[in-house]
Structure 1
């Protein structure tokens, strides 16, 4: 494998930075004027965009974004999955406009017929019989974790190093060198030491899972079907089946978070791979961009929770710490119904997955042509390249493959060629309005850029 020429990389990065700065004066002006915002942006993670300042949005539709400097991009980031349905899909915006205008009532604390429909549709897709709504997958994970602890009478959650479950406190954990659980690097002010709430294992390592479960204090294994926010790290054959067997053997629940892995298909990886969760979590994409999330529970989990609430041990109706005033509001349930019914359909997933296959093939062909020491992985409509070969098999390996300079150079080079990739990593997601021409445009740009460093 050729070594990365760091001097050449530095020159390429400087050139792309200079071009980016020159092409986006209005975005830079707005960023510099944002002194009243913490980090100069609405949310501090928006500073993750390479270039010293982020692009500022003017408008977006489908898989196109136009910034305030008038540049239009093919968007493969799609809101880091939040806009997997595309930006402002017509069925969703129509339903939202009708709820806000003709019908009225954005949030009323009353149930709606739309919520009933969405619950039935989520059962049809993912199999869980009972559902509750939130405003994000982070909320769904937090509240479902509480129910898991209530149902089992156990205090700890088992997670995998470099997993992604939103900003849930318990999940920013990795295995420590002495077998204890420690906080993940960069974790902001964990409220308590992580070994009090969490047990951490290594992805694709069932022995590490069993060691942690053997303590007898794990309420639930909380996992994605594939790691996604640290590159796509796919499960090895038998790993997910092993998790189910171990959870059952040691009396823990299996909690599957498909916030990102919904890209695997119409019914997520849960349907595609015949998974059997006790609790299921989803968010972001199912509302077409309107904040929403949901968690589903099995009949057994519901019965265990009900026994405690009937006995007065917990209150899930009023002050028990589960739920929020805006959760399940009429606007978000209308958005979910329209998005699931008319946008993220089985036909749409077939189209999106086919394009992701072509995207992955284009990346792989370039890597092979230049013998680049990277890899590419795909999960349904989602594809991602990682700066390691072979592809990482654990979260720890994938984290070690990160390279700040290559990452910044790749993102800036793509932006300068009219393509947006997810800023946190190099993920590309297809939406119903993505075309083969869009994929081919990325393939051409990717080959050009990679060839400048490794050709």
Structure 2
């Protein structure tokens, strides 16, 4: 097995950092001038880009991004899934232009025909019969958690260590000693002790799930079909089926968030794996880049919610904390209709998945050739490598495999050779515009930069 030489890594990282700084003077200048922005960026997470300053965008189309210094990149980050349809897909652009120009009315607090079309398409894909729209999956999760608590009369949500559900307060939780839930390190000022709102357990551990549910206070199991933002950690055989059985047994709702795992296919992992959620959440990609999100519920959940609202116990129409003025606006529903109907089609997913399979094979070939102790997992159109072998099977193990120096080296080396990977982790996503030549270019670059480490 190849051994990493930390001294060599430091030397290579210094060289890549110097090249990055030299090649991007305009981005560096703009970052230095951004004194009126908190963290010098529009959103503080943009500082996750390696190099001391982020690239500044000039333009983007398909799977190509060009920065203000004139460098064009093959984009495998794709907005961390937000641009899974590609940057500015033509049907989405046309629909948005028509809504903003010819038809007018970006947001009017009035429903549109597009909304019903999108709801019907989401039902075809994911099975939920009833839908509400949001501007992000975070919004969808927050509002759906409220409905789950209302429907069940229970206060807590069960989540998995190192899960990803946007910035939902309840989700930044880890299992602690003696079953007590702890806040995830770095969590920003949770409003209450997470043990009051959340039960957290280890991914792929059905015994831990059952023990948590046995308390009788869990409204919903909130889960991805596979962990994603900590590296792709798939469910072990029978795990997702076990969650469904345990939720039913203990009277909790199964709430599946496919914001990232939509990459699995046209109907996400829910359709591909035959999952049976009570509540379903999706966001980011379905609007082709226009802020969009949605949550779907079963008829049973709808009836439970309606019983409480009809009795005057809750108000989901006005002051109940569910919804927002811009949610379901005319622009986002037009974008969702075009993106789902004309861009993220079954044929597109077949193409994207085929490329991700080739991407995975290319990475694995280098790992095998050099005997590098890393691993790679694929989830439909998405693939991600982790600095561990064998591949982690829990969120805790995947988090333990993190290596900041290696991450920095890999990301800078890729950027310096014209490839963008997701800044938060080593995720690559295919879009309809990605080509086999793009994948082959990554394979070659990956071999070069990993080979430089393990000579």
One fold, TM greater than 0.5?
A: yes
Aligned to 2:178, what secondary structure does the other structure show?
Answer: coil
**Is residue 178 from structure 1 mapped to residue 178 from structure 2 by the alignment?**
yes
Tell me which residue corresponds to 1:219.
219
**Is residue 319 from structure 1 mapped to residue 332 from structure 2 by the alignment?**
no
Tell me which residue corresponds to 2:276.
276
Tell me which residue corresponds to 1:264.
264
The CA deviation at 1:4 is: 1.1
Where in structure 2 are the equivalents of 1:138-287 lying within 5 Å?
138-287=138-287
Tell me which residue corresponds to 2:391.
391
The CA deviation at 1:178 is: 2.6
**Is residue 409 from structure 1 mapped to residue 409 from structure 2 by the alignment?**
yes
The CA deviation at 1:3 is: 2.2
Structure 1 distance, partners of 2:285, 2:428, is 15
Tell me which residue corresponds to 1:121.
121
| 1:31-50: CA deviation from partner (whole Å, max 9, x where unpaired) | 00001000000000000000
The CA deviation at 1:374 is: 0.4
Structure 1 distance, partners of 2:131, 2:116, is 10
The CA deviation at 1:2 is: 2.4
| 1:82-120: CA deviation from partner (whole Å, max 9, x where unpaired) | 000000000000000000000000000000000010000
The CA deviation at 1:190 is: 0.4
Structure 1 distance, partners of 2:246, 2:4, is 42
Tell me which residue corresponds to 1:289.
289
CA root-mean-square deviation: 0.4
How many residues were matched structurally?
455
The CA deviation at 1:123 is: 0.3
Tell me which residue corresponds to 1:96.
96
Runs of 4+ in 1 over 3 A off after TM superposition: none
The CA deviation at 1:179 is: 1.8
Tell me which residue corresponds to 1:106.
106
The CA deviation at 1:177 is: 2.5
Aligned to 1:199, what secondary structure does the other structure show?
Answer: strand
Aligned to 2:254, what secondary structure does the other structure show?
Answer: strand
Structure 1 distance, partners of 2:129, 2:167, is 26
Tell me which residue corresponds to 1:340.
340
Aligned to 1:178, what secondary structure does the other structure show?
Answer: helix
| 1:390-436: CA deviation from partner (whole Å, max 9, x where unpaired) | 00000000000000000000000000000000000000000000000
Structure 1 distance, partners of 2:85, 2:294, is 17
| 1:305-358: CA deviation from partner (whole Å, max 9, x where unpaired) | 000000000000000000000000000000000000000000000000000000
**Is residue 30 from structure 1 mapped to residue 37 from structure 2 by the alignment?**
no
Tell me which residue corresponds to 2:365.
365
Structure 2 unmatched runs, 5+: none
Tell me which residue corresponds to 1:356.
356
Structure 2 distance, partners of 1:364, 1:106, is 46
Structure 1 distance, partners of 2:186, 2:454, is 32
**Is residue 76 from structure 1 mapped to residue 76 from structure 2 by the alignment?**
yes
Structure 2 distance, partners of 1:32, 1:110, is 43
| 1:248-271: CA deviation from partner (whole Å, max 9, x where unpaired) | 000000000000000000000000
Structure 2 distance, partners of 1:233, 1:450, is 23
